[in-house]
Amino acid sequence: MKRILICGANGLLGQRLSLMLSTQSDYEVLNTSVERSYVYDNKLFDYNQLDITNRSDVKSLISSFQPNVIMNAAAATNVDWCESNREETWKINVTAVENLVEASRKVGAQLIHVSTDYVFDGKNGPYDETAKPNPLGYYGKTKLASENAIRSEAIRHTIIRTIVLYGSGIRVKANFALWVVNSLKVGKQITVVDDQIGNPTFVGDLAMAMIKAFELNREGIFHIGGGDQLSRYDFAIQAAEVFNLDASLIMRIKTSDLIQTSPRPMISGFITLKAETQLGMRFLNVKEGLTLLKHELQSNGNN
Ligand SMILES: NC(=O)c1ccc[n+]([C@@H]2O[C@H](COP(=O)([O-])OP(=O)(O)OC[C@H]3O[C@@H](n4cnc5c(N)ncnc54)[C@H](OP(=O)(O)O)[C@@H]3O)[C@@H](O)[C@H]2O)c1
C-alpha cells in the first residue's frame, strides 16, 4: 500500500487533501501539522503533530513512516505578515522545505510542493511554466527560494504553483472569496481592487492536481489556476451574484488606494495547458467554483 505524508493538514489545502486521500483504501495517509490538535477527529484519520521547521522531528517521522510521497501544504501564507516577519517566514517557507528535501532524499519519496504566482512580478501575465520568475515581495522571494531548494537536489519532485486560492474548511483563515461573501452577508460595504488580475483557483482543483501528479508520476513545475482570468473586483461581483447578495456594497478601487505592506503582482494569471494535458484536468471557472463553495457552506450549516 502506498504511504502518503501530508504536511500542513489543518490548512485550507491540507484539509482538502486530507479528506480526499484519507478516504481511499489504496493509501495509508499520515496527516500532520504544526498544531497539537487536528481539525478532523484523529480517531477518524491518522494525525501526528509535526512542525516542519524542526529538522530532527522531520527526519525521525519520515524515516519511521517511510512515505512514497510527501505533499507539502504547510506555509506562512499571509503576504503582509511575511513582509514584516522575515526571519520566521524564511524558517517556515524555506528552511522547513530544505528539511523535507533532505528527508525525501533519504527515503526516496517524491516531494510535491506548492508555490505561487507571487514568484512573478505581474508585469505581463498570464504566465506559463517557462516564464522567468521575478518576485516583488518577501513572501514571493521565499517561495521561489523553496522551489530552488527542491530543484537543486536530485529528488523526485513536483512543484505546483497556484493563484488566489479559495474554498471552505474548518476554521480556515478567511480567503478572498469567504471574505467577500461573509462581508456582504452582514451588509458590510467593501472596497475591492479592479487592477489586480488573476485566475482564482478552487481548492478542490488544486488538491486533485497534487493527487494526479502523484498517481500519474508527473514531475517538474505545473501551473494550476481556475478557468477565468479576471480582476478581484469582477470576482467579488460574481460571488455576489452566485450567493444572491447585494453587489452594490462592492466599491471599485485601485491598488494605489490601498496601504499594503507587501507589493502584489498586478497582471498575473496562469496558463494551465500543461496541467490540463499532462494531468488530464479541467479547471473550474469562477461561477462553477463559487457555486460549489455555496453548496459546501450550506451543507456545513453556514449559509
Ligand atoms: N491562499 C492563496 O491564495 C495561495 C495562493 C497561491 C499559493 N498558495 C500556496 O498554497 C499552499 C497552501 O495554502 P493555504 O491557503 O492552504 O494555506 P493555509 O490555510 O494558511 O495553511 C497552511 C497551514 O500550514 C500550517 N503551518 C504553518 N507553519 C507550519 C510548520 N512550521 N509546520 C507545519 N505546518 C505549518 C499552518 O498552521 P497555522 O495556521 O497554525 O500557522 C496552516 O494550517 C501554500 O504553500 C501557499 O503558499 C496559496
User: What's the rounded Cα separation, in Å, for the pair 198 and 147?
Assistant: 21
pLDDT above 90 covers a percentage of the chain that reads 92
Mean pLDDT of 193-212: 98
Write the residue with the smallest CA distance to atom 21 of ligand 1. Answer: 11
- pLDDT tens for each residue of 132-170: 999 999 999 999 999 999 998 889 999 999 999 999 999
Q: What is the pLDDT of residue 302?
A: 66
Placement of cell 483563515 in the chain: 173
Mean pLDDT of 226-255: 98
User: What's the rounded Cα separation, in Å, for the pair 202 and 285?
Assistant: 9
Listed in sequence order, the DSSP H helices in 186-227 are 203-215
- CA nearest to 11, candidates 139, 172, 160: 172
Q: Judge whether residue 187 has pLDDT over 60.
A: yes
- CA nearest to 206, candidates 152, 165, 146, 263: 165
Ligand 1 lining (C-beta closer than 6 Å): 7-8, 10-14, 33-35, 51-53, 73-75, 77, 92, 96, 114, 116, 162-165, 172-173, 175
**CATH fold group of domain 2-173+200-227+268-284:** Rossmann fold (3.40.50)
Q: Judge whether residue 12 has pLDDT over 80.
A: yes
Strand 250-253 relative to strand 201-202, pairing: unpaired
- Say which DSSP state 118 is in: G
Instruction: Give one DSSP letter per residue of 232-272, joined into a string.
Output: HHHHHHHHHHHTT--GGGEEEE-GGGS--SS---SB--B--
Q: Judge whether residue 241 has pLDDT over 80.
A: yes
The CA 246 to ligand 1 mean position distance, Å, reads 31
Domain ranges of the chain: 2-173+200-227+268-284
Q: What is the mean pLDDT of the chain?
A: 96
Mean pLDDT of 51-63: 98
Under a CB-based contact definition with an 8 Å cutoff, are residues 40 and 18 in contact? Answer: yes
The CA 248 to ligand 1 mean position distance, Å, reads 32
Q: Which amino acid type is present at position 196?
A: Q
Which residues are part of the catalytic machinery? 139
pTM of the entire predicted model: 0.97
